[in-house]
Structure 1
């Protein structure tokens, strides 16, 4: 039996647990979910996962010496770690999971945009598996990038306008988003690279960083961290607000000696949270199954 630890049990984690029901029913997989506040999950369906806080995790691991600080010891007793807790938690807990030597499936790919977290997540000895999240077509772009066949990479993401309002915005900026009506043209709220976008729109950067990861190219003589750093500077991100849009839409464009590529993706919202793409949990579950299969 493969023992899997989920870091986080929000919309994505619960959807992943649902998707793993065949393995859970067959008894080939056990699922534990680590949360910061166990009481908040009382009364919610756990879909076959055992939901624990850090003291509960310590009891499961038989380690009374586990404290509240991230440590590789937290992951004793688990075969695979799956992060689905958000960028801050991924940056805090992910490096310890990697240091434990276990494979880590990373959902909050935006954590790789921060140099310190990137170094820890790629330091080993555990292996990092970066999920594609809500976008596809990355296998083609990865092949082209490894042949040094891409010069430009761009992703344009459009989302419901009200969901892009941020606390740092001025009242004028927020009002422009609130006042958009269906039929109005898209309003561009950000243009730049993923490293810049994570400061302003952290919840919308995961897919851009996943694109940068896939198009980093081969790292002959150069570390993956450095290759990714350069790719994060190259990828261009355009974030647009559209009133009344029920699906997130992504257009990826890439060009170079390997050719010209355009991918359009519109994803159905998660059944657990309409603000989250349903494709994210599908991608995480597929990646986890591939890790288990070896």
Structure 2
């Protein structure tokens, strides 16, 4: 049984906790004491509001399901504590220097940094861009204006450019772009649109190269109790955890 330390007791954390099967969340951390206490009691996990004490608890892997800020602040500590980490808030790795430092720490300590598929599909084959010529690599994300805290009466483009620039301008909409860029080994070209007629978060990937061409479209339903989070993103972490100890590895 794999033991998990959960960093973040929000909606994604609840989806993961509700899906425990061949893994057990034994420790949980959150900056809000009342929230972590309630979460720990509900899911029979030891609650912590002190991160050092949380890390000292014997767990096999830490799952970050909180925020880009939380991932940035704590991922290095997790690796240095001799534990693998799952990073949900992949936008934290947009800082190339920070990412390189994390990877080097993991390499030296023989630890793993896991990036779940998140709100999209196809990351496994997108990684062929690391070894093969890619001619076109575009992510087109379309959201309802309300999810972007904006108003619009017609379809409107908010951004067009490279992923690293999108990270700076729209930090809350970077996880998919950053996951794709890391997988491929090159910055994806990003288009961010808002459309009052779109009731879901939609991601379209256009991928062409010497292998041929691919088009992927994902229209995500919101996660239960949190319309700002994709349910697929939460499920992707759950799937990753369920397969950590599976000797049959698919798509990697």
Q: Shorter-chain TM-score: which interval?
A: 0.7 to 0.9
SS at match of 2:232: helix
SS at match of 1:275: strand
SS at match of 2:59: coil
RMSD over aligned CA atoms reads: 2.2
**Counterpart Cα distance in 2 of 1:259 and 1:14:** 40
Conserved 8 A contact 2:28-2:36 = no
CA offset at residue 52 of structure 1?
2.3
Q: Is 2:196 the counterpart of 1:215? A: no
Q: Is 2:28 the counterpart of 1:33? A: yes
**Counterpart Cα distance in 2 of 1:253 and 1:75:** 44
CA offset at residue 44 of structure 1?
6.2
Structure having the higher strand fraction is 2
Give unpaired runs (5+ residues) of structure 1.
Answer: 62-73, 166-176, 217-230
> Which residue of 1 is the match for residue 250 of structure 2?
none
> Which residue of 1 is the match for residue 147 of structure 2?
163
Conserved 8 A contact 1:160-1:242 = yes
Q: Is 2:119 the counterpart of 1:134? A: yes
**Counterpart Cα distance in 2 of 1:49 and 1:83:** 19
Q: Is 2:214 the counterpart of 1:261? A: yes
Q: Is 2:102 the counterpart of 1:121? A: yes
* Larger-Rg structure: 1
> Which residue of 1 is the match for residue 166 of structure 2?
197
**Counterpart Cα distance in 1 of 2:67 and 2:3:** 22
CA offset at residue 47 of structure 1?
5.0
**Counterpart Cα distance in 1 of 2:122 and 2:51:** 40
- TM-score under structure 2 normalisation? 0.87
CA offset at residue 29 of structure 1?
2.1
**Counterpart Cα distance in 1 of 2:19 and 2:170:** 28
Moved more, 258-267 or 144-153: 144-153
SS at match of 1:293: coil
**Counterpart Cα distance in 2 of 1:204 and 1:32:** 29
SS at match of 1:85: coil
> Which residue of 2 is the match for residue 10 of structure 1?
10
The count of residues paired between Structure 1 and Structure 2 equals 243
SS at match of 2:228: coil
**Counterpart Cα distance in 1 of 2:10 and 2:241:** 17
Q: 233, 236, 242: which one pairs with 1:280?
A: 233
Q: Is 2:214 the counterpart of 1:250? A: no
Q: What are the Cα deviations for residues 14-41 of structure 1, in whole angstroms up to 9, with x where unaligned?
A: 1111122x34xxxx52332210111245
Moved more, 149-158 or 276-285: 149-158
Change (3 A) 1:158 1:49: farther
**Counterpart Cα distance in 2 of 1:160 and 1:31:** 37
Q: What are the Cα deviations for residues 86-135 of structure 1, in whole angstroms up to 9, with x where unaligned?
A: 11110110111122222111101111101232123212122111111000
Change (3 A) 1:43 1:89: closer
Conserved 8 A contact 2:27-2:48 = no
Conserved 8 A contact 1:110-1:198 = yes
CA offset at residue 273 of structure 1?
0.5
> Which residue of 2 is the match for residue 93 of structure 1?
74
